[in-house]
Each structure stands twice: as structure tokens, then as C-alpha cells.
């Protein structure tokens, strides 16, 4: 119990110290996760919308595959990217292994199925109905699809929030493809694992608390957009 | 009325979970004295040993502990961590015994009363690994400090465990002796991971690193890197065993630990350590009483 308290104090100390190493870790975490989630959204939302508007029977197998990948263990995702980017792997010549780019790629692989799957479910809930209404009002199919996406924005934001929560908290994949190199690819989660293994439990808890605070701030922002949508 | 609740599905489910919980607790916490252990021997009790990844990953502990368990009926449960974390686990009384490799710190902690009955048990050595081409030319270095100096001079990439393990602490002492502060250098990558991970990362980027011989032998078939430097006394890797002080943590299984330590430093235990081989290479050498 006292250790938890010390952890909270450590978190406060870390936040107020503006330690450059810590800031670097925090910014890298945010940079990697935000870029990954933007890419995953750009892929996942259109794909989910497309599949959600297709008849369930035609896309059944694809849906099941996407739902399965939603539960892919991050370590497995990381390992796949590692094998692709490794010097002996097919994309080894790019020299991306142990760089933030590799971490972003791995996180896109983890987040895209989540955003696709949840968008798909959200759109399927009301999609056909909205499309029919829009069509009856004279919209072409592109406009009808856009209307569905707009009308399902709450579900889509929920999908993005879930995807973001997954990647900001993820440790297995970024450890494997990033390598946890101090000052280059060390992010908050890998730093927490390291400090736990070193036995620096206060520091690990302190970092954990900062991670939760960051997640709270970002989720509050997304949540406010979502509630704003509801008021309209 | 009071029995009706038993028929609800959720209640049944909860009762099942409770029953399983009790069964599991009964299995692990109160083994009957005459109960058959998993190895078919009498299981008289458990002791928890926290140790470094190198002794565990190399398979040495499985080999020795199986024999100890057969002879004494005690069971050894192994937690494998970096030396820093293992020492911390021991200090908090979350284990009964430790087998680690940072002699200086071990002796300090014995002085501070955290641990008792410390003995040198075995040793092996650290080696310097790097790309075959050896751009820094450490192959012909006079000693390990000079070798690291050459790496620094050439600004060759060096991958560091960076995890406060015994290996990392040895590396940092060498840098200190070479008068170099590597944490400020771009070519020094601190990755905070285990020995196997570190070797693989160094292999991918063709960097230099320091490794314990045991882990290197265990993974070397997958590596392009080769052994470039060894044999300096500064690279000796001394493992010690010790018990968590029962005066500080009365719940520890001190009697069991005593038996375990006696076994490791006995002639027979020492012989077992020396006879353990992987790919016909000896990984650890008997080290009791060599001081």
C-alpha cells in the first residue's frame, strides 16, 4: 500500500520535474499512437462502412476473420512485423526495424481490425435503413454511404477510442519491433516493463499513473466530440 | 427460501468457481506430508528461488533442481528475473532464496541484514560479441577495458542490456574503468531487455555487445555475430547463492533453503554444476571455496 502511495508521489514528482528524458518518452508514445490511430482510422472506417453495408451473408467469412484479428495477441502482431522487417526478412532492406516507423506499422496492424470491426457493427445496426431513406430522398450511392458514416459517427468514435486505448497501452509489439532503445524507441509502456524488471517499482507506478492521465485527457477530448455529436 | 437461491444459474456458477478455488488452494498450500509429488517422490514442501535469466534459460537449474527434488522431496519453484529485480524481490521477502551474479551488491545487502548464508557457488565468464569484420578491431585488444575503448573510439554501435542485470552492471564497471560515460553517446544503445533479446537485437544491427557465455552458447546458432574477445579476469562472472534473512521475513522457508544451499555447495552439487553441458560445452564451473 505504501508503495502505491510512493508511486503517486513519484508520478507527481516526475510530472513537475519536466525531465527531458521523460518528456521524450511521453512524446514518442503519443506520436506513435496518434499516427498509428490516424492511419488505422483511414483504413478501418471506410472498410468497416463498406462491409457494414454489404449483405451479411456475402461477407460472413471476412467478418469472422476481422473479428478474430481484433483479438490478436500484440506479441504475435509484433512478431509478424518483426519477421517482415528483420534483416533476413522480405522488407529488411528498408532498414525500418527498431525505429518508430516499425512501431507505427505494428500498431496499425493491431488497431485496424478493431476500428474496422466496431465500425462494421455500428453501421450494420442502422446502415441499410439510412441508405434506403437517403436513396428515397434522391441521394446517389456515394452520398448515401457518406450519410451513413455521418449518422453512425458515435459508433465510429467509439471504435476509434477503443483502438486508441489498445495502442497506447500496448507493450508486447512495440517492445519487439522497437527494441526499447533508450532515447530512440523507448515508450511509456516499455519503460514501465523495464523499471518493473529493475525493481524500481515506484518509478514504474509513477509512469503508469502518467500514462493513465494522458489516456484520460485524450479520451475526454474524444468523448466531448462524441457527446457534441449527440446534442446535434 | 434460502435454498431457492442455489438454483439460480449465476449462483451455481459462483459456487463452482468457489469450489474450484478451494480445491486449487488445497493442492498448493497444504500438501499432505505423504502426498506423491509430480515426480513420483514425496513432496515435503516448496521453496521459492529467484534467479537470473542466464541460469534458468541455460537449463542448468532444471538439471540440478530435478536431482535435488528427487533426493530431498522438496520442490524448488524458480522465478527468473534480472539480477536487480531478483535482489529487490528477495529484499521484499517475496522469495526464499536467491541465485544471482553481482557479488559486490550481494555482500553489501548481506551486511545490511537482508540476506544470510551467502556462498560463491559457480562462475563462468562474460565475452564480447560483435560482427565478424570487427570494425573496431577488438580481437587483438590487451584486455576488456581496452576493447571497449576501441569500440568507443571507432564509435561502433554497442548494444547494452540497460536493465540493471549482473551483465549490465559488469558492462558499466568496464566503461567506468575505460573513462567513458556511454549513456551520453549515440552509438551506445541501452535497450532494457534480457540477454537473448539483446543478442538478437545486436545481431540485427550488427553491433557489439557483452554476453554471458551460457546464453551465447544457447543462441549462437541463430546469430551472425561471433565471439571476438574473452579471457580477461575482469570478465569473470561469479554467481552466489543466499537465503532471505528469516529474522527480517519470518515467513520464509529457511530450513528448506539451508538444505538447498548445502546441496549446491556440497561436493556432489559442485560436481553436478561442472558436469552440465550444452552442445558439449561446459557453461558453469564449480566455484565454492575458490576465494
In this predicted model, what pLDDT tens digit does every residue of A82-133 receive, in sequence order?
999 987 889 988 989 999 999 999 999 999 999 999 999 999 887 778 888 8
Mean pLDDT of B65-71: 94
Q: Do B189 and A196 touch (CB under 8 A)?
A: no
Banded model confidence at residue B126, pLDDT cuts 50, 70, 90? very high
How far away is chain B from the Cα of A146, in angstroms, using its nearest Cα?
44
Q: Which residues of A touch B (CB under 8 A)?
A: 86-87, 97-98, 175, 179-184, 186, 190-191, 193-194, 196-199, 201
* Domains of chain B, CATH where assigned: 36-124+237-286 (3.40.190.10), 125-236 (3.40.190.10)
Which own/partner contact pairs does A211-217 have at CB distance under 8 Å and 24+ positions apart?
Answer: A211/A29, A211/A168, A211/A169, A213/A11, A214/A26, A214/A29, A214/A30, A214/A168, A214/A188, A215/A165, A215/A168, A215/A169
Size of chain B, expressed as the number of residues it contains: 291
Q: State the maximum Cα–Cα separation within chain A, in Å, rounded to a whole number.
A: 66
Question: Model confidence over B265-278: pLDDT tens digits?
Answer: 999 999 999 999 88
Using one digit for the tens of pLDDT, what is the confidence trace for B134-158?
999 999 999 999 999 999 999 999 9
Is the pLDDT higher at A15 or at A168?
Answer: A168
Residue B27, pLDDT > 60, answer no
User: What pLDDT is recorded for position B20?
Assistant: 59
The DSSP bridge partners found for residue B129 are: B209, B227
| pLDDT class of A211 with cuts at 50, 70, 90 | very high
Please say whether the beta carbons of A113 and A66 come within 8 A.
yes
B79, B193, B200, B201, best to mutate vs chain A, most A CBs in 10 Å? B193
**ipTM greater than 0.90:** no
More confident residue, A23 or B290: A23
Identify the closest residue of chain B to A92 by CA–CA distance: B204
Q: Which domains does chain A have, with CATH numbers?
A: 2-231 (1.10.3720.10)
Q: Which residue on chain B is closest to A182 by alpha carbon? A: B190
Reported as type and span, the H/E element at residue B212 is strand B208-212
Q: Cβ separation of A181 and B189 shorter than 8 Å?
A: yes
Cβ within 8 Å, pair A196-B164: no
Using the beta-carbon criterion (under 8 Å), do A179 and B193 form an inter-chain contact? yes
- Span A17-54, pLDDT tens digits: 888 888 999 999 999 999 999 999 999 999 999 999 88
For residues B196-218, give the mean pLDDT: 92
Confidence of residue A77 (pLDDT cuts 50, 70, 90): very high
pLDDT tier at B36, thresholds 50, 70, 90: very low
Q: Which pLDDT band, with edges at 50, 70 and 90, does B11 fall under?
A: low
Give the span between the Cα atoms of A203 and A205, in whole angstroms. 5
- Output the pLDDT for position B37: 39
* Residue in A207, A181, A178 with CA at minimum distance from that of residue A195: A207
Say whether pLDDT at B32 is over 50. Answer: no
Cβ distance of A180 and B81 shorter than 8 Å: no
Q: Say yes or no to pLDDT of B192 above 80.
A: yes
What pLDDT was estimated at residue A142?
Answer: 82
User: Hey, which of A133-142, B74-83, B220-229 has the most confident mean pLDDT?
Assistant: B220-229
pTM above 0.80, yes or no: no
Contacts of B85 in chain A (CB under 8 A): 196-199
SS3 state at A182 = coil
**Number of Cβ pairs < 8 A linking chain A and chain B:** 56
B112: confidence class by pLDDT, cuts 50, 70, 90: very high
Model pLDDT, residue B12: 60
Q: How far apart are CA B82 and CA B167, in angstroms?
A: 9
Between B80 and B157, name the one with better pLDDT.
Answer: B157
Distance of alpha carbon B246 from alpha carbon A4, whole angstroms: 26
Among B163, B183, B191, whose Cβ lies nearest the Cβ of A198? B163
A116 vs B290, more confident: A116
- Mean pLDDT, all residues of chain B: 86
Mean pLDDT, chain A, as a whole number?
89
pLDDT of residue B184: 85
Q: Are B163 and A97 within 8 A, CB to CB? A: no
CA distance A87 to chain B (A): 6
Residue B268, classed as helix, strand or coil, is helix
User: What's the confidence (pLDDT) of residue B33?
Assistant: 40
Q: Is the pLDDT of residue B15 over 70?
A: no
CB nearest to A197's CB, from B163, B183, B201: B163
Q: Which helix (H) or strand (E) holds B144?
A: helix B144-154
Grouping H, G, I as helix, E, B as strand and the rest as coil, residue A35 is helix
Q: Is the pLDDT of residue A14 over 90?
A: no
Q: Which of B82, B189, B190 sits opposite A197 (nearest CB)?
A: B82
CB under 8 Å to B246, separation ≥6 — which residues? B116, B252, B254
Give the least confident one: A47-51, A113-117, B78-82, B111-115. Answer: B78-82
- In order, the DSSP letters of A118-176 are HHHHHHHHHHHHHHHHHHHTT--HHHHHHHHHHHTHHHHHHHHHHHHHHHHT--HHHHH
Q: Hey, are the CB atoms on A198 and B205 less than 8 Å from each other?
A: no
Q: Select from B85, B162, B204 the Cβ nearest to the Cβ of A97.
A: B204
Please list the residues that pair with B210 across neighbouring strands.
B128
Amino acid at each position: 500500500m505504501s508503495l502505491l502511495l510512493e508511486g503517486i508521489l513519484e508520478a507527481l514528482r516526475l510530472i513537475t520535474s519536466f525531465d527531458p528524458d521523460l518528456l521524450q518518452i511521453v512524446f514518442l508514445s503519443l506520436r506513435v499512437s496518434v499516427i498509428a490511430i490516424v492511419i488505422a482510422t483511414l483504413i478501418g472506417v471506410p472498410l468497416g462502412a463498406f462491409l457494414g453495408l454489404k449483405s451479411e451473408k456475402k461477407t460472413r467469412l471476412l467478418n469472422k476473420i476481422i473479428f478474430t484479428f481484433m483479438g490478436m495477441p500484440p506479441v504475435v502482431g509484433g512478431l509478424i512485423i518483426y519477421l517482415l522487417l528483420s534483416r533476413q526478412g522480405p522488407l529488411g532492406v528498408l532498414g525500418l526495424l527498431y525505429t518508430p516507423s516499425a512501431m507505427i506499422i505494428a500498431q496499425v496492424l493491431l488497431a485496424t481490425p478493431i476500428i474496422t470491426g466496431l465500425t462494421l457493427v455500428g453501421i450494420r445496426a442502422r446502415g441499410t435503413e439510412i441508405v434506403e431513406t437517403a436513396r428515397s430522398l434522391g441521394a446517389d450511392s456515394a452520398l448515401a454511404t457518406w450519410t451513413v458514416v455521418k449518422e453512425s459517427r458515435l459508433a465510429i468514435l467509439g471504435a476509434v477510442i477503443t483502438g486508441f486505448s489498445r495502442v497506447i497501452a500496448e507493450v508486447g509489439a512495440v517492445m519487439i519491433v522497437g527494441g526499447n532503445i533508450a532515447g530512440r524507441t523507448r515508450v511509456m509502456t516499455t519503460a514501465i516493463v523495464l523499471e518493473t524488471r529493475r525493481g524500481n517499482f515506484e518509478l514504474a507506478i509513477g509512469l503508469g499513473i502518467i500514462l493513465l492521465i494522458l489516456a484520460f485527457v485524450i479520451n475526454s477530448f474524444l468523448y466531448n466530440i462524441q457527446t457534441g455529436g449527440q446534442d446535434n | 427460501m434460502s435454498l431457492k437461491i442455489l438454483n439460480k444459474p449465476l449462483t451455481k456458477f459462483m459456487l463452482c468457481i468457489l469450489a474450484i478455488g478451494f480445491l486449487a488452494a488445497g493442492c498448493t498450500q497444504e500438501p499432505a506430508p505423504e502426498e506423491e509429488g509430480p515426480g513420483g517422490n514425496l513432496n515435503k514442501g516448496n521453496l521459492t528461488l529467484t534467479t537470473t535469466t542466464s541460469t534458468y534459460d541455460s537449463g542448468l537449474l532444471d538439471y540440478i533442481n530435478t536431482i535435488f527434488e528427487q533426493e530431498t522431496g522438496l520442490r524448488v519453484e524458480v522465478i527468473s528475473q534480472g539480477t536487480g529485480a531478483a535482489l529487490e524481490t528477495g529484499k521484499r521477502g517475496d522469495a526464499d532464496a536467491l541465485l544471482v551474479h553481482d557479488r559486490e551488491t550481494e555482500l553489501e545487502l548481506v551486511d545490511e541484514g537482508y540476506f544470510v548464508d551467502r556462498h560463491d557457488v559457480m562462475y563462468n565468464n562474460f565475452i564480447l560479441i560483435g560482427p565478424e569484420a570487427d570494425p573496431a578491431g577488438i580481437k587483438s585488444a590487451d584486455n576488456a577495458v581496452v576493447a571497449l575503448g576501441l569500440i568507443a573510439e571507432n564509435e561502433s554501435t554497442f548494444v547494452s542490456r540497460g536493465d540493471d542485470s549482473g551483465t549490465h552492471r559488469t558492462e558499466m564497471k568496464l566503461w567506468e574503468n575505460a573513462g567513458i560515460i556511454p549513456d551520453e553517446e549515440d552509438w551506445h544503445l541501452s535497450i532494457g531487455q534480457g540477454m537473448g533479446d539483446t543478442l538478437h537485437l545486436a545481431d540485427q544491427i550488427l553491433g557489439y555487445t557483452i554476453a554471458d557465455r551460457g546464453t551465447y552458447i544457447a543462441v549462437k546458432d541463430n546469430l551472425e555475430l561471433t565471439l571476438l574477445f574473452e579471457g580477461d579476469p575482469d570478465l569473470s562472472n561469479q554467481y552466489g547463492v543466499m537465503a532471505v534473512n528469516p529474522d527480517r521475513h519470518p515467513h520464509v522457508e529457511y530450513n528448506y533453503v539451508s538444505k538447498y544451499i548445502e546441496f549446491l555447495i556440497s561436493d556432489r552439487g559442485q560436481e553436478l554444476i561442472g558436469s552440465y553441458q550444452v552442445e558439449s560445452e561446459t557453461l558453469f564451473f564449480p566455484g565454492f571455496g575458490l576465494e
